[in-house]
Amino acid sequence: MKKSGKKDLALIVNNGPSYIAAAVFTRNKVCAAPVTLTKQNVSNGTIRAVIINSGNANACTGSTGLENAQAQADLTADALSISSEDIAVCSTGIIGEQLPMDTLAAGIPTVVHALDASADAGMNAAEAIMTTDTVAKTTFVSEPNFVVGGIGKGVGMMAPSLATMLCILATDAEITPDMAREALRNGSAQTFNTLDIDGTTSTNDTVILLANGSSGYRPTQAEINAAVLKACEDIACQLQADAEGVTKRVSITVTGAANDAEALVAARVVGRDNLFKCAMFGSDPNWGRTLAAVGMADAAMDPDNLSVVFNGHAVCTHSTPTADAKDVDLSGPDIAVSIDLGTGKTGTATVRTTDLSHQYVEINSAYHT
């Protein structure tokens, strides 16, 4: 499917004994055919295999696209001798072209035949789902009694939700579908949902957690939550570090908001502001643009009592600059920005983003349909 001849098809199979699964998806109203199909198939809490192609997103492809996603599931189910209702399908790549079904029909039996549980298998799968990613993303969380492993991809159109973010996690813990859903909801909320590279939300984003219970260990909700959160956190950091055109990794923490939800709204507005992001590219502690951005947020704030801190250095207090505001050094690759909304309340949230660089513009203007 990829003209480059690189790997473009990954298959993840749960060998049981149980086949628990949960998933979260893009919130975009324009969602891709594989998202529609996978939503339906995971609704009963069970998935036995995930087939993922890169190079073609099967998005904006109408009823033919839905038929093709179903055929992709059917081909996979046939080759594995399981029900096609137990298949999750993920696609990432170009929008608006039909899947090359002949190529897929030939490729699916090939990947089924090549299935293995070797140490290289995860990395091979992670490479097969890359698009403009420059590095493969994998994670492995080892708890005393169980493990969580996973692969991810995504470099742009993340809010969290295009160039498509995909993440498949697997655990040998013995958990119920409700526990899987809660662990994934909790983990995504604190990681993928607060990663905002360009404010753009994909048509295809999917995060899936598979659990086969093979460890025989039944973790508490808190235990599985913690392990899944670690895995999500690890993949999310790798997505941020490989974001399109990134030269700075920027974390924006808002405090002093009326509540956590408003803090998140305010952090997101700043994280999406192009002038702020250009300032970060220029290593410029531009608290003026920071205040101008946060002032547009639909969140309670005291306009005369806003504070801004860059990398632990206060640059603005009571909405006016500190004496040494210009002395902070932002030349390194990581920038931490803290903004206090001055309401006296304790609402807080953190969003991770990147700078807006020449390379971002180059990648996204040269990459033609």
Binding residues for substrate: 131, 153, 164, 244, 364, 369
Instruction: For the segment 185-204, give every residue that binds a copy of itself (CB under 8 A).
Output: 198-203
- 295 is a site residue for a copy of itself (CB under 8 A): yes
Under 8 Å CB-to-CB from 183, ≥6 apart: which residues?
22, 175, 209, 221, 224, 225, 227, 228, 229
- 318 is a site residue for a copy of itself (CB under 8 A): yes
CB under 8 A: which stretch of 14-22, 25-33, 143-151, 188-196 binds a copy of itself?
Answer: 25-33
- 366 is a site residue for a copy of itself (CB under 8 A): yes
User: Residue 103 catalytic?
Assistant: no
User: In this complex, which beta carbon is closest to a copy of itself, that of residue 142 or of residue 318?
Assistant: 318
Residue 334, CA atoms < 13 Å, CB-side half-sphere: 7
Contact 278, 355 (CB under 8 A): yes
User: In this complex, which beta carbon is closest to a copy of itself, that of residue 146 or of residue 310?
Assistant: 310
φ/ψ of residue 133, rounded to 5:
-55, 140
User: In this complex, which beta carbon is closest to a copy of itself, that of residue 114 or of residue 361?
Assistant: 361
As measured in angstroms, the least distance from the Cβ of 202 to a copy of itself is 7
CB under 8 A: which stretch of 137-145, 171-179, 254-262, 355-363 binds a copy of itself?
Answer: 355-363
CB under 8 A: which stretch of 76-84, 116-124, 209-217, 311-319 binds a copy of itself?
Answer: 311-319
Catalytic residue among 164, 322, 343, 348: 164
- 364 is a site residue for a copy of itself (CB under 8 A): yes
As measured in angstroms, the least distance from the Cβ of 105 to a copy of itself is 22
- Give Rg (Cα) of the chain: 22
What is the 8-class DSSP label of residue 327?
Answer: G
Query: Out of 89, 207, 235, 293, which residue is the one contacting a copy of itself (CB under 8 A)?
Result: 293
Q: Please report, for residues 13, 41, 140, 157, 211, the alpha-carbon distance to residue 169 in angstroms, rounded to integers and kept in the order given.
A: 12, 17, 9, 21, 9
What is the 8-class DSSP label of residue 84?
Answer: G
User: In this complex, which beta carbon is closest to a copy of itself, that of residue 45 or of residue 321?
Assistant: 321
* 259-278 footprint of a copy of itself as x/- string (CB under 8 A): -------------xxxx--x
- 357 is a site residue for a copy of itself (CB under 8 A): yes
Give every strand in the sheet of 49-56, ordered side by side: 9-13, 49-56, 87-94
Burial label, 204 (beta-carbon count in 10 A; 0-12, 13-18, 19+): buried
Distance CA(291)–CA(307), nearest Å, equals: 9
What the block records as the tokens of 285 is 């502690």
Distance CA(241)–CA(353), nearest Å, equals: 10
As measured in angstroms, the least distance from the Cβ of 137 to a copy of itself is 21
Contact 353, 274 (CB under 8 A): no
Nearest partner of 99 among 80, 78, 122, 71, judged by Cα: 71
Tell me, by CB under 8 A, how many residues bind a copy of itself. 71
- 323 is a site residue for a copy of itself (CB under 8 A): no
Euclidean distance between the first and the last CA atom of the chain, given in angstroms as a whole number: 15
User: In this complex, which beta carbon is closest to a copy of itself, that of residue 203 or of residue 206?
Assistant: 203
Nearest partner of 128 among 157, 158, 108, judged by Cα: 108
Query: Out of 6, 27, 40, 333, which residue is the one contacting a copy of itself (CB under 8 A)?
Result: 27
- 100 is a site residue for a copy of itself (CB under 8 A): no
- 296 is a site residue for a copy of itself (CB under 8 A): yes
- 31 is a site residue for a copy of itself (CB under 8 A): yes
- 68 is a site residue for a copy of itself (CB under 8 A): no
As measured in angstroms, the least distance from the Cβ of 80 to a copy of itself is 31
Task: Find the helix or strand (DSSP H, E) in which 32 lies.
Answer: none
Instruction: For the segment 138-167, give every residue that binds a copy of itself (CB under 8 A).
Output: 156-157, 159, 162
Q: Which residues are catalytic?
A: 164
